């Protein structure tokens, strides 16, 4: 992400001097040149009438590769996957009306998960705005709640500056999506005079550093703590703070738990790792949060899937706060996140990497023998577990993920849809580095996985070529429900020769909803049973290789065949349909109410 200013505050600059380098170009041609200036490598989208001047200007562009998706939502999720792996803003180009509104799901997804997107939408001519013209929609009004910033450009002279502002806002502070609406007459117009290109956002600033007193107070609290715990979210990944986080954990001898989106921020093979916490997180991670007298939250936002019943969240830290010997510390670059869901003892606004670098030299080493003895016992007694099954059509989904982990040596980039398969992937694939787990967290968007894997694969291909190294596998672990929503994007992968791969954990149900119906609705399966197509035949019609696995005895061979295929591939695994995700923390309950699952998980 763009974090290039070494000052306490990042301020948007002034418009600057005018330039004449765009004189004689159409608005669409200026757009093309601006994409080159911002180093855009790939763009995702779908054409239409209102945006045709721009599509004509980028015809056979030598600046970047354009990926024609099968749906605008798919374009948005591809751009998200690309952004999450590359660290650059994902760029989307679509037309007006339904083309723009189809991106709303991806915009809100990116907004909740802090993913930088720059979305350009076509719009009817300025004179027709407000007349209910063909394919007109109030795009800036519709997307205002789900973007970090948006704007309607009504004058060709504003195009360069607005594009600069868009990339700046998307990639500074807490990253997020921005949108620029481009009327057709503006992109077709020809510039006749010099224009200013410098950004001018007087109301926008980002604080980079916390105060020295905040950092010192945080260090004192951590050093006094008997049972401290790092609680880490995606902000660590976005800021590039994973290495300094490791140094802080090692120096202070402090265990680390991560959110779903924080997976990869801390090596899960480390003895300090407590793995994922939350609704379907490790029992030991949730109990550690309960018993920690000092919770050091970095780049996480106290999501309800982590906190459960807020009034009962982190009781030991709350008691330690009252006793004056501990409490909750929150490092976050977004000031609105601090004290929003959970009141904290110390709030430190700013960039996670920069503030942890200030914290590191102030930390003291503590042995904390009793704390680690308790943590190790919990981990040994309550691992993520399942009961194996060798019967045909009863393939265990956890076994599929364990075999994938074994054959990829834990080095794959994993994307997911949303549901049971997402939780199993988070539990049974151990993540070691940032950018390795790409999923929809806050919005919980079914259908995210397939297009995100296409975008992530493109980013990995570019990185591997640039770094002159072998390309890592990018694997989408999906459910049949999620795949049915956006599976047509495998056709996009086939068209462009993108070796995106998907494993479908197919139980012929909307599995997570079924689990709730099993547990809380007396097994009344109201509209959750899926009547799926033959996925192998379906993807082969898309020019994608299909593989099927129905039993554990064939699993290793089928995964090997799936991984060794050098093009896009889908593996359909027919799994046990009554399998549940455990542990489970029921909504609104406390960690003492966790359902631990089968006997093997409750030794």
Residues 462 and 87: beta-carbon distance below 8 Å: no
Candidate list 31, 34, 44, 72, residue with the active-site label: 72
Strands 9-11 and 205-207: antiparallel
Q: Is 118 helix (H, G, I), strand (E, B) or coil?
A: strand
- For residue 177, give the nearest of 117, 104, 90 by alpha carbon: 117
Question: Across the strands, what pairs with 529?
Answer: 509
CA distance 133 to 125: 9
Using an 8 Å Cβ cutoff, are 1 and 87 in contact? yes
Q: How far is CA 483 from CA 224, 403, 496, 530, 559, in A?
A: 49, 21, 20, 12, 19
Phi-psi sector, 309: left (phi>0), alpha (psi -120 to 50), beta: beta
Catalytic residue among 33, 41, 64, 135: 135
Q: How far apart are CA 593 and CA 415, in angstroms?
A: 30
Q: Which residues contact 440 (CB under 8 A, 6 or more apart)?
A: 109, 113, 416, 417, 418, 448, 452
- H or E element in which residue 474 lies: strand 474-479
Active site annotation includes 331: no
Does the active-site annotation cover 512? yes
134 is catalytic: yes
Query: Catalytic one among 18, 65, 134, 392?
Result: 134
Whole-angstrom Cα distance, residue 251 to residue 362? 10
Comparing C-alpha atoms, which of 223, 222, 230, 253 is closest to residue 370?
A: 253
Q: Closest Cα to residue 77, out of 447, 485, 437, 443?
A: 447
Torsion 224-228-234-239 (CA) sign: positive
Q: Where are the beta strands (DSSP E) in 104-253?
A: 117-123, 149-152, 177-183, 195-196, 205-207, 228-232
Q: Which residues contact 546 (CB under 8 A, 6 or more apart)?
A: 535, 536, 537, 538, 539, 540, 569, 570, 571, 572
The pairing of beta strand 65-68 with beta strand 42-46:
parallel
Q: Which residue among 184, 353, 354, 379 is the active-site one?
A: 184
| CA separation for the pair 223, 209 (Å, rounded) | 21
d(CA 556, CA 570): 15
533 vs 568: CA distance, rounded Å: 19
**Spatial distance between the Cα atoms of 82 and 437, rounded to a whole number of angstroms:** 12
Residues 6+ apart with CB under 8 A from 476: 414, 415, 416, 417, 449, 450, 452, 453, 500, 501, 502, 503
Distance between CA atoms of residues 93 and 99, nearest Å: 9
* Token duo for residue 168: 């700046």
- The verdict on whether 354 is a catalytic residue reads no
Annotated active-site residue in 279, 512, 542, 571: 512
Give the three-class secondary structure for 468: coil
221 an active-site residue?
A: no
Query: Which of the residues are catalytic?
Result: 72, 134-135, 184, 512
């Amino acid at each position: 992400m763009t974090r290039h200013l070494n000052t306490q505050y990042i301020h948007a600059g002034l418009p600057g001097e005018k330039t004449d380098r765009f004189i004689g170009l159409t608005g669409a041609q200026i757009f093309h040149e601006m994409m080159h200036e911002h180093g855009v490598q790939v763009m995702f989208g779908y054409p239409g009438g209102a945006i045709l001047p721009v599509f004509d200007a980028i015809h056979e562009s030598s600046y970047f590769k354009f990926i024609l998706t099968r749906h605008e939502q798919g374009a948005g999720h591809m751009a998200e996957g690309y952004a999450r792996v590359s660290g650059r803003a994902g760029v989307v180009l679509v037309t007006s009306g339904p083309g723009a509104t189809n991106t709303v799901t991806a915009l809100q997804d990116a907004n909740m998960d802090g993913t930088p997107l720059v979305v350009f939408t076509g719009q009817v001519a300025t004179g027709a705005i407000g007349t209910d013209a063909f394919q007109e929609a109030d795009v800036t009004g519709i997307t205002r709640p789900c973007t970090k910033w948006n704007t309607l450009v009504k004058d060709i002279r504003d195009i360069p500056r607005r594009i600069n502002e868009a990339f700046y806002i998307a990639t500074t502070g807490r990253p997020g999506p921005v949108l620029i609406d481009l009327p057709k007459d503006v992109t077709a117009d020809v510039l006749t005079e010099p224009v200013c290109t410098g950004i001018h956002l007087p109301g926008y600033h980002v604080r980079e550093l916390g105060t020295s007193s905040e950092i010192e107070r945080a260090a004192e609290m951590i050093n006094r703590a008997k049972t401290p715990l790092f609680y880490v979210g995606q902000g660590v990944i976005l800021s590039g703070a994973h290495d300094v986080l490791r140094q802080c954990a090692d120096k202070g001898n402090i265990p680390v738990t991560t959110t779903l989106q924080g997976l990869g921020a801390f090596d899960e093979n480390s003895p300090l790792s407590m793995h994922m916490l939350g609704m379907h997180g490790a029992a030991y991670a949730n109990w550690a949060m309960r018993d920690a007298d000092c919770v050091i939250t970095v780049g996480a936002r106290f999501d309800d899937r982590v906190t459960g019943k807020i009034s009962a969240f982190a009781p030991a830290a709350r008691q330690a706060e009252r006793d004056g010997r501990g409490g909750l510390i929150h490092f976050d670059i977004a000031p609105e996140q601090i004290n929003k869901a959970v009141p904290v003892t110390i709030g430190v606004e700013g960039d996670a990497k920069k503030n942890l670098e200030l914290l590191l030299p102030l930390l003291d080493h503590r042995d904390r023998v009793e704390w680690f003895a308790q943590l190790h016992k919990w981990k040994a007694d309550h691992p993520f577990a399942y009961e194996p099954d060798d019967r045909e059509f009863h393939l265990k989904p956890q076994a599929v993920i364990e075999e994938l982990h074994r054959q990829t040596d834990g080095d794959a980039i994993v994307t997911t849809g949303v549901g049971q398969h997402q939780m199993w992937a988070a539990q049974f694939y151990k993540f070691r580095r940032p950018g390795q787990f790409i999923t929809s967290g806050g919005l919980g968007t079914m259908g995210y996985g397939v297009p995100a894997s296409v975008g992530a694969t493109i980013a990995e291909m570019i990185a591997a070529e640039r770094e002159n190294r072998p390309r890592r596998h990018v694997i989408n672990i999906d459910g049949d429900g999620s795949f049915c929503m956006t599976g047509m994007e495998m056709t996009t992968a086939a068209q462009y020769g993108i070796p995106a791969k998907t494993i479908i954990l197919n139980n012929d149900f909307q599995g997570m909803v079924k689990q709730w119906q099993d547990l809380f609705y007396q097994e009344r399966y109201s509209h959750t049973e899926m009547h799926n197509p033959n996925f192998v035949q379906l993807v082969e019609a898309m020019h994608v290789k299909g593989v099927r696995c129905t039993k554990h005895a064939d699993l290793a061979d089928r995964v090997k065949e799936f991984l060794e295929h050098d093009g896009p591939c889908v593996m359909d695994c027919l799994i046990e349909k009554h399998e549940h995700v455990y542990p489970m923390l029921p909504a609104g309950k406390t960690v003492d109410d966790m359902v631990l699952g089968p006997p093997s998980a409750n030794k």
